[in-house]
Amino acid sequence: MDIKPNSVIHLEPGETLPGYTNLKPVPDKYLNELKSLINKLNMQSGNIYLQLKQMYAFLSRFNKEFVSTFTSCQKGCSSCCKIDVHLTALEATYIAQATRITARDSQLTTGHKSKCPFLSEKGTCAIYNYRPLLCRTYHVLTPPDLCNELDAQVLQYGVKSANMGNHIYKTVAEWIYFQNYQAIGKIETKDIRDFFPYPREDIQRFVNQTPPRPFC
């Protein structure tokens, strides 16, 4: 397979990627579990953040049991934390509730190359359990050290430009966008730096002194 620089991959149910024997189709059990979860959440009323927490929990298990078997991302990899990190207002409020840092409604900015304000000096995420969808779905299939090379051939999986990579990610994204629309009347994403436009050192100092905690 001819891999172009910054190639992106999307697989529909039942599809495989030639040349990547470990990249299997999404097992039906996850598709069925997600369908059941969405039906369950549709029947629930009340705390939307508790519903988002349940959706994130499903994604964490899906990533651990399936996606991690063929992707190369590791703890401490942080190149993807130095680019645009888009999220909805719903997700920003979820982070704000956990960190007790007020989310702002700033203008959309793009083209970021600076570190995410929640990226620690150790290269780990200070809000890992509360991180937004796109941080949970972005993966690479090529060696992680290539992510730091500007002209490297990095094969990306789970990105928005490739329809989220698989049916699970796509469906969860649609669910989150719909919930955001229900809450504020529009489907809109901004960069995490737009929602939290504070000096990174101030945010790091605050989360070190007052770690994020569950609120629902």
Per-residue pLDDT reduced to its tens digit, 167-202: 999 999 999 999 999 988 988 999 999 999 999 999
Separation of alpha carbons 136 and 86, rounded Å: 12
Indicate whether 51 pLDDT > 70.
Answer: yes
Q: How far apart are CA 89 and CA 184, in angstroms?
A: 8
Q: Which of 3-7, 26-30, 192-196, 211-215 has the lowest mean pLDDT?
A: 3-7
Please report the pLDDT score of residue 3 as a whole number: 47
Packing angle, helices 167-184 and 89-99, rounded to 10: 80
| pTM: predicted TM-score of the whole model, two decimal places | 0.89
Q: Helices 167-184 and 28-43 meet at what angle, rounded to 10?
A: 10
pLDDT digits (tens, 9 = 90+) for 74-117: 888 888 899 899 999 999 999 999 999 999 989 999 989 899 99
pLDDT at residue 19, as a whole number: 65
Whether residue 1 is predicted with pLDDT greater than 50 in this model: the reply is no
Half-sphere exposure of 21 (CA within 13 A, CB side): 0
Higher pLDDT, 155 or 84: 84
Locate the domains of the chain by residue range: 7-12+29-34+48-209
How far is residue 111's CA from residue 194's CA, in Å, rounded to a whole number? 12
* 46: region left, alpha or beta (phi > 0 left; psi from -120 to 50 alpha): left
Which spans in the chain are helix H? 28-43, 48-65, 89-99, 133-137, 167-184, 192-195, 200-209
Is residue 6's pLDDT more than 60? no
